[in-house]
Amino acid sequence: MIDLPELLILDVGHGNCAILRDTMAVSVIDCGYDGSILLRALRQLKISAVDHVLISHADIDHIGGLEPLIEALPIRNIYMNADASKMGKRWKDTLRALDLAEHLGTQVHIGLTSSHSQKIISGEVTIEIIAPSASLAASGSGGTYLEGPSVGSNTMSVVIGLIHKSCRVVLLPGDMNEFGLNNLLKKYKHIEAQILVFPHHGGNSGSADDQEFAQKLCDLVKPKLVLFSLDRSRYDNPKEQVVRGVITALPHAHIMCTQLSCKCSPVPFLSRSRHLTNLPAQGDINDSCCGGTIRIKIDGDQTMYDPSLSLHRQFVKKLSENLNEHASIQRQDKDLQVSFEELSGPLCLRYLATSLTNP
């Protein structure tokens, strides 16, 4: 194992996947859509077995890579919640893979709730399961909860905190929606974390007001770094109202996407530069990385991450200069002609930041 733990937020395109390498265990949190980047990263890190797999919910962009992971490596434990709403070939393949995992000796735990908090042994990092509650999980996706709304997969999304040296370093809320956020707000005045992996890839939150959702979440967590795990070619993420909410709540936060959002650059940009880590990233395929795969070196309140703020901003400055030279982009939107120094919001989402001052 390693002296200090680290967390890798993998660029898997549209989806979520993270690897926690700790002093006593290797844990995978969500598996992305197909597991290809996950398996490449595990091979590069020379990881031959996984101790824990935690699945936030059963959407394909979070659980799709579980089947190839089960087929590739020994896994000690899999933790996930049931989802009666899922069907189709990919879901049936996942169920068959779970049968295979059990046959190979994996402990498959159906039920991942706040009652499991601090019970999944990692090493120096405490794995905190903040949501869902046992009562919500008992209702199950496709069921009805106490207050009356039907329970969907995103409503059931597991919210995971990683604590080191009494400091919550990272919050991973999966695809938590407005219902899930309101449940947290009933229980907590704050859940501060240095790094927030924004839920649902910066897409629609299920709220009538995505800006309000993002602002309430960021006020609750108060992160220094907000990450969007996304595919530049799908769903037009992060949504403008989401980013407006983040900027309103966190005017000085570092915002970084795994891939270069089309909101920042309508055309691809040669992103293989010194700010990126050397870890596998889906965006490497077509030069669409922005942050790429992010490496977080966990050390309590001294936690650091790569790409760093300074290197990422250097990349964004070059991108801005490149766009300013691109005549076709200039014709599409003159508001893009804003200098690096004039920006008041996060630089990597330049277009949306300027829209705050140029409504």
List of residues 6+ apart from 58 with CB closer than 8 A: 80, 81, 83, 86, 91, 94, 141, 153
Between 187 and 337, the more confident residue is 187
pLDDT band for 359, please (50, 70, 90 cuts): very low
pLDDT at 148 over 80: no
pLDDT, mean of residues 55-76: 97
- Residue 229 or 288, more confident: 229
Residue 269's pLDDT is 67
Q: pLDDT band at residue 143, thresholds of 50, 70 and 90? A: confident
pTM for the predicted model, two decimal places = 0.90
From 36, 3, 26, 25, select the one nearest 281 (Cα to Cα). Answer: 36
Mean pLDDT of 1-10: 86
Confidence of residue 216 (pLDDT cuts 50, 70, 90): very high
Region 53-62: mean pLDDT is: 96
The answer to which of 26-30, 48-52, 136-140, 288-292 has the lowest mean pLDDT is 136-140
Fold of 6-357: Metallo-beta-lactamase; Chain A (3.60.15)
**pLDDT over 50 (residue 305):** yes
User: What single string gives the DSSP state of each residue in 137-149?
Assistant: HHH-BTSB-TTSP
* Domain residue ranges in the chain: 6-357
Give the chain's mean pLDDT: 86
Give the residues across from 347 on adjacent strands.
none
What tens digit of pLDDT does each residue of 308-354 get? 988 888 887 777 776 665 534 444 444 444 343 333 333 455 444 44
Q: What is the pLDDT of residue 234?
A: 86
Q: Quote the CA–CA distance of 280 and 2 in Å, as a whole number.
A: 20
Closest CA to 31 of 21, 42, 22, 44: 42
Distances (CA, A) of 324 to 162, 198, 265, 329, 344: 40, 29, 11, 8, 18
Lowest mean per-residue pLDDT among 31-40, 261-270, 279-288, 323-332? 323-332
Cβ neighbours of residue 85 closer than 8 Å, sequence gap 6 or more: 141, 142, 152, 153
In sequence order, what DSSP letters do the residues of 185-236 get, joined into one string? HHH-S----SEEE-GGGG---SSS-HHHHHHHHHHHH--SEEEE---TTSTT
Per-residue pLDDT at 27 exceeds 80: yes
Query: What pLDDT score was predicted for residue 262?
Result: 81
C-alpha–C-alpha distance, residues 276 and 273, integer Å? 6
pLDDT of residue 244: 87
Tell me the HSE value of 111 on the side-chain side, using a 13 A CA sphere: 9
For residue 261, the SS3 value is: coil
pLDDT at 147: 63
Q: If you count them, how many residues does the chain have?
A: 359
